[in-house]
Amino acid sequence: MPLTETMSDTEAGVLARGLVRRAAGVGLLGGLVAFVFARIFAEPLIQQAIDYEAGRDEARAVLAAAAGEAVEPEGPEIFSRVLQANLGIGTGVVLFGLAVGCFFGVAYCLAWGRAGRVSARRLSLLVAGGGFLLLYLVPFLKYPANPPAIGNSDTIAQRAGLYGVMVVACVVFGAGALWLGHRLAPRFGNWNATLLAGLAFVVLIGIVMALLPPLGSLSANAGQVGPALTETPQPLRDPSGAIVFPGFDPDLLFYFRLYSVIAQALLWGVIGVAFAPLAERLLERGRATEEGESLIAG
């Protein structure tokens, strides 16, 4: 049953706060695990992307100077790469894990008792899996993560807005799929209802993906990417059409995106697995307390 249906508001509030605090703690742990993975596997790729960007800028400056155009001076480095690769990324990922953990804890409290006869441990895994799917993996399919050197600085706001639209659509349609599955279950059974609700989600989110533009088609990229419709740098050519600097390495891009998915899977996986026994013990303790009070009252 939902937390507030079998206990007082005060008891439910205390239990919910306990769940969210534990979720925040495992979120920090998940963020730390994700950072360690990213530091070992993704950070070297980020450095390669930065080196590529620097080399491309130099080649572009040479072409501009040869054409008699003004060359903009390179800006100063505010933070060193050592600081960015360790303290910067580490702090960002761990704090992100904390935020994800808090969100997960709230979602778990809302789902407990409303997801049917699901154990506390299994519900933890289901909520974590759903969060990974709706908040990261599905939006990633439309707008995947990119390393430095990929992306036009003039499209940052547009890219953030489009990604936000994808996330909101996933959350809304995901919630709608849960509602639809619940409504269809008495008529079609849990398995068939789940399949029908999942199919509805896939169709709706597929329509959204089809309607949202590819990044290369944004107005700021007009005339820069050609028919590729991507912000991934293509080979840099001189006025004669000869390639003076190669396009971005596709293998580097593939592995960066792969490691990004793995890092997120680790974050959500650690949260789901580590939270499961903590939630079970806390809920059992709350249930035992409630039963004891009922016996005393009786």
Is pLDDT of 292 > 50?
A: no
Which residues 6+ apart lie within 8 Å of 109 measured at CB?
A: 3, 16, 19, 20
Count of Cβ atoms closer than 10 Å to residue 281 Cβ:
12
Widest distance between CA atoms in the chain? 92
Per-residue pLDDT at 8: 60
What mean pLDDT, rounded, does the chain reach?
A: 87
Which DSSP string do the residues of 94-148 spell out, in sequence order? HHHHHHHHHHHHHHHHHHTTTSSS--HHHHHHHHHHHHHIIIIIHHHHHS----T
pLDDT digits (tens, 9 = 90+) for 145-160: 999 878 777 888 899 9
pTM higher than 0.85:
yes
pLDDT digits (tens, 9 = 90+) for 46-105: 999 999 999 998 998 888 888 777 666 665 666 676 777 778 889 999 999 999 999 999
Which residues 6+ apart lie within 8 Å of 298 measured at CB?
A: none
Residue 237: phi and psi, rounded to 5, are -120, 150
pLDDT digits (tens, 9 = 90+) for 110-127: 998 777 678 999 999 999
CA separation for the pair 249, 256 (Å, rounded) = 11
Q: Which amino acid, one-letter code, is at 249?
A: D
Per-residue pLDDT at 22: 97
Q: Considering only CA atoms, which of 84, 173, 233 is closest in space to residue 181?
A: 173
Share of the chain above pLDDT 90, in %: 62
